[in-house]
C-alpha cells in the first residue's frame, strides 16, 4: 500500500461538504459524533496521540487527554481519517497513532513512512485547515512560513498546533 494523498484530501473535502462547513474552526467533535463514532478521552503515553478501532460493530476513537486541546483536535481528525479511509485495517486490530510527532522526529522510520499514518495526517490537515479557508486567511500578500508570530496567529484561528499548521503550510507549497 502506498499513500494516496489525493484520495485523503478528497475524503476530507467530502466531509466538509457533508457538514456544510463554512467557517473555521472546523467543529471536529460534532462531526465525529454525528458520524456515530464514540469519542473517548483518556490519559495515554506521551508519545501516543490517539487510536482508532471498532469493537462489536461500534466505531471508536481514543484521544490522549494529556495533550494540548488543539493537538487533540488534530488527533481526533487523524483518527477520523482512519475510520473513513481504512475501515478494513482498523477492523482487525487497534490502530495506535503517533501522529505528526513521529513523522517530524524521524521521517524515515517505519512509522514515519507508514502510508496509513501519512494518509490520516493528510486527511486531518485538509479537514481542519481546508485550502480554501487557509488561502482566505493568508490573503493576497502571502505569509512567511518562518515568521513564527504569523504562523502562531494562523494556528490559533484554526485551533490547531503550530506544528500542524507548519505541516499544512508545507504541503501548500
- Contacting residues toward Zn ion, per CB under 5 A: 97, 117, 120
Closest separation between CB of residue 167 and Zn ion, Å?
A: 14
Which residue number, 44 or 151, has a Cβ lying nearer to Zn ion? 44
Rg of the Cα atoms in the chain: 15
CA–chain centroid gap for 108, Å, is 20
Closest separation between CB of residue 159 and Zn ion, Å?
A: 20
Which residue number, 66 or 111, has a Cβ lying nearer to Zn ion? 111
Query: H-type helices in 86-109, by residue range?
Result: 87-92, 99-105
Closest separation between CB of residue 97 and Zn ion, Å?
A: 3
- Grid cell digits, residue 148: 513564527
Q: What is the DSSP letter of 24?
A: S
Which residue number, 5 or 157, has a Cβ lying nearer to Zn ion? 5
Q: What is the DSSP letter of 93?
A: S
Pair 63, 76: CB distance under 8 Å: yes
Closest separation between CB of residue 35 and Zn ion, Å?
A: 17
CB-hemisphere CA count at 13 Å for 26? 29
Q: What is the DSSP letter of 58?
A: E
Name 38's bridge partners: 60
Using CA atoms, how far apart are residues 4 and 20, in angstroms rounded to an integer? 24
Q: In the bound complex, which residue of the shown chain has the CB atom lying closest to Zn ion?
A: 97
Which residue number, 45 or 146, has a Cβ lying nearer to Zn ion? 45
Closest separation between CB of residue 62 and Zn ion, Å?
A: 11
Which residue number, 72 or 97, has a Cβ lying nearer to Zn ion? 97
Amino acid at each position: 500500500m502506498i499513500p494516496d494523498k489525493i484520495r485523503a484530501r478528497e475524503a476530507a473535502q467530502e466531509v466538509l461538504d457533508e457538514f456544510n462547513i463554512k467557517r473555521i474552526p472546523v467543529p471536529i467533535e460534532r462531526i465525529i459524533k454525528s458520524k456515530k463514532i464514540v469519542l473517548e478521552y483518556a490519559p495515554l503515553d506521551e508519545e501516543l496521540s490517539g487510536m482508532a478501532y471498532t469493537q462489536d460493530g461500534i466505531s471508536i476513537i481514543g484521544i490522549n487527554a494529556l495533550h494540548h486541546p488543539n493537538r487533540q483536535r488534530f488527533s481526533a481528525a487523524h483518527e477520523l481519517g482512519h475510520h473513513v479511509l481504512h475501515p478494513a485495517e482498523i477492523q482487525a486490530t487497534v490502530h495506535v497513532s503517533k501522529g505528526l510527532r513521529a513523522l517530524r522526529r524521524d521521517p524515515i522510520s517505519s512509522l514515519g513512512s507508514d502510508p496509513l499514518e501519512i494518509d490520516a495526517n493528510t486527511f486531518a490537515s485538509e479537514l481542519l485547515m481546508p485550502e480554501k479557508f487557509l488561502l482566505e486567511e493568508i490573503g493576497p500578500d502571502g505569509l512567511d512560513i518562518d515568521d513564527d508570530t504569523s504562523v502562531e496567529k494562523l494556528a490559533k484561528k484554526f485551533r490547531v498546533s503550530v506544528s500542524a499548521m507548519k505541516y499544512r503550510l508545507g504541503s501548500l507549497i
